[in-house]
Structure 1
Amino acid sequence: PVIVPEAHVEALLEMPEPHPGARQLVVTSERTNVFLGETLRVKVQYASSSPNLVEAVSQVELRGDGVLEDKNSVRQSIELLEHDGQRTPTFSYETSVTPLAMGALKLKAQGFTSGREFNGTIIIRGPVTIPGGPPQYVLLDSEPFTINVRPLPEAGRLPGFSGAIGSFRCDPPKLGTNQVRVGDPVQITYTLRGEGDLTQLSPPAAPRARGWQIFPPDSGVIENATGTNRAIAFTYTLIPLSDAEQVTPMIPFSGFDAKKNAYTDLSFASVPIIVLNDGLTTNLDSFSSSSDANPETEPKLALSSLSLSPGRAVGSLVPWQMRAWFPFAQISPALVFLALWGWVRRRDYLERHPEIVRRRRARRALRREFRALRRAAGRNDEAEFSRRAVSALQIVCSPHFPAEPRALVGSDVVRVLDSTGLNGQAAQLVERLFANVNRSRFSAELAHGDDVLKARAEVEAVLKKLEEQL
């Protein structure tokens, strides 16, 4: 087990003078009221508690909802600043943040003291003492720092605005060549400089201009990323479609200057150019017609007018997925699948065992013959009774061969009787029935004195016994 030693804390109503102040970070900024998407420089400072003695702060993090920090713009320095009436060595961590939500946003800074261990480049101004020995890592945090974020104004917005916020200026365009043939590509580069977050700057969309085919640029290339004169360059590819063009097309672009609280025009200017034909034919008319058919901006969606007649009536406004029967509707495809799967298995099983089908058919046909046999006995129709009895015997014995019931003769039925263990009287009764049926087929009347109706109970007993073998 790990044993943590006890610590003693002494609480006093008043601290004795002099006493060191609390060690914490301080978040400051030149402005607290910014626009949505505007880049703001924020400083995190840590003042030393001892004269001329300073400690570095590592792993500095700015925490807050709705704020994006640019780690590539971090600057670290140590300098003498005024604190409580005296100049104290202060560690400064300066970075850029961009608010992504409106309203009052709160920032808090956290970091660890790291002694003389510095992360990255650091500028030291003035006499300071850096402590030696192993660093003592102490977690520091700051009080919340509030930034008030407001939306950009809608009034005065210029064409080509893509979210650029800051004080920018556009350098003269750089054309790859001032002389080009019809159909050949030429590149033109526009460079923007100024104060603002260049990494979040989106280039203006390539416009549609008659006589030119313009391809959109790739992501901009940042120049002098760590210096004060930062810039970003966008390169467009242009193809002239006619030798009548004498200048490159202007590309609309604008930004919002937070200091002036107004939109500024940063449109990329046109550049003179010479376009040679060399006797080549162009498809300017077809390209222009396709450009007109596909305008840059699509028509805005709008609600249709009110309907003149009522729509389909419904019994309830509750959605289908929230009704009681909906879960059963979801499992119904699975139930249908299981039913089909069971039906296919049963069909395959019956194909492999056809005797089951024959016995089932024999039982159904035997029930029909039983009913006809009883009706004939009720009418005292001896001829019909004999025919129905013989037909029932043929049906109940046919699955044992197997054969068509009408193809069986009396000896076949007697053979089945022997396998069931019936006595000889049952075989004699079967022979009498078959003999009566044969006489009725070949003579007009049955022989007198052979009253088979009296043996009704014996006939039904034989049929019941044979039915048990199915």
Structure 2
Amino acid sequence: MMPRVLWLAIWVVCSFNTASAANIEFTATVDRVRLGRAEPLRLTLAIISDENIGHMPAPEISLKDFYVEGPSVSTRMEMVNFNTSFTRELVYVLYAKRTGKINIGPARIAVGGQQYQSKLIQVEVVRGASRQNSRNTANNSAKKEFRLEDNLFVLARSDNNRVYIGQQVTVDYDLFYRFRLHNVGFKEIPSFAGFWVKELFVAQQLESRRETLEGVNFNVAPLRRVALFPTSAGDYEAGVLAVSCDIPQQRGRRGSLLEDFFAGDPFFGRSQSVVLQSESIPIEVLPLPEQGRPQEFSGAVGRFRLDVQVQPTHVAAGDPVTLRVVIEGQGNMAAVQAPDIGGAAGVKLYDPKVEEEEQVSNGMYGGRRTFEYIMIPEQGGMMEIPPVRFAYFDPYAEQYEVLESELIFIHSEGSVEEVEAERYGLSRRDIEAVGQDIRHIKPDADALGTDTALYRSWLFWLLQAGLPIAFFALLFWQRHQQRLQGDVAYARQRRAKGEAGRRLQRADELLAVGDSAEFYAAVQAAVLEFLADRLNLAAAGLTSEACAEALDERGVEDETVVALRDLLVRCDYARFAPTGVSAANMAEARRLAGDLVERLEERI
């Protein structure tokens, strides 16, 4: 009898588990299957169950072909004929990175030890709008069709597409638009693999000018300008820059007086979010010619000038002489190396101290590098230093150039031994023997006494106890320093909070002077750099979506992730649309940033 009861109990439990698993449904849906490249796509992942599941992990889904916003989470309960169902929805807003057919999913989620999977969804992304307005009937057939991509786009332009290694390529990213925009923010920062990059300009807010392109007038807002210096030969490209913005929706018919009044208002009027993406720019990089390459060439490319100065030229032996070599011009100053200074007999030469000054003139990056050498004559006479030579490649003339100074002459008097003797007032005959024995110091008899045994002193035992503690403390400190030097991730994590504090102090200074654009840029940089350091990620191109995904993987609660995303969105909005930003708003953003740093310090 007992075995039957036992088997019956096992069967009931298994049946209950099977029923529970069968009562969960996981679906993925989109609001359209054909869309324009700049149009948003709403993806909804829904978990439906007949009982409240409570907390569950985020679904796993690959969205690499989209820019992602969200998800926004909602939960609802329904009761029909005494049957209760609970639905939890995660809504993502997606913007396609490319045209063509793109697969979404399948999405996967684990609930109660069971794996659930949605169906695969395929959407088609086309250039322009997915469909024309159905109201554009024959009455408007004579009018030119309105195409969004013809009136709003990001254009990437370069001044040269075929350059030599080390030659500057200037790339401009500009936003072209013909109607009012709101909430403009960077969505993707371009990558420049194969280049040394110098930022020349990054927009903090939209400042537009008028420009005519192919006979059409546009408002043009510069977004970013970079100077690229290729490091090796080959075919490369300047990456894609993407921005998001809100545009007013076109009204199909005239509405009420109240609707017309608020139609152009960014807070009350209807708007549509779009993501705009530039095209990449192919760049061909040529190797530097081998023919005619001088021995002194060390990699400098551009146009430069050489100035050499020596001070003083008349010295006593052993006194220092300063040789200043200044190289200035247009080009990548990081590639300008210290010239090889030819030595002379009797002159000691020390490694140079290097000073660098950057400057941008007419869009060309350059500057000045100063190499300061110290030379010590060790003997008397006239000493001749060979001319200083500096070689570089001129990409515009397509040939090597060699700059050369004049001969350097230094007149030294005396010798090092004589100068040292005169300096201290000594000569050979000044040294006389005054005795041939050692006279010991005799202390006063009153100072003599009986000493207590050292081992009976409390100081002795304190030192005995302190030595092991000091040893282990020193060992711990040494290992800590070694790990800081060898483990980049550990070093970034340890220093993250201190660096964030310094950046937020800079934000406090900007808050005091009321510079809202710079303040919000500083707050955003402080939070993003802190996250990049704590998570050991590259700060460049780190978006709010990437931050949220990384924090979700580490189990950070939704409340903190939402607060982070809200702060970053607030900073973007205030930087690019600063109208109405008050001191109270800035102070609140500063407080939120400080709180986020403290909370994330404890959780990651």
Q: Normalised by the size of structure 2, how large is the TM-score?
A: 0.38
Which is strand-richer, 1 or 2?
Answer: 2
Q: Which has the larger radius of gyration?
A: 1
Please give the TM-score of this superposition, normalised by the length of structure 1. 0.48
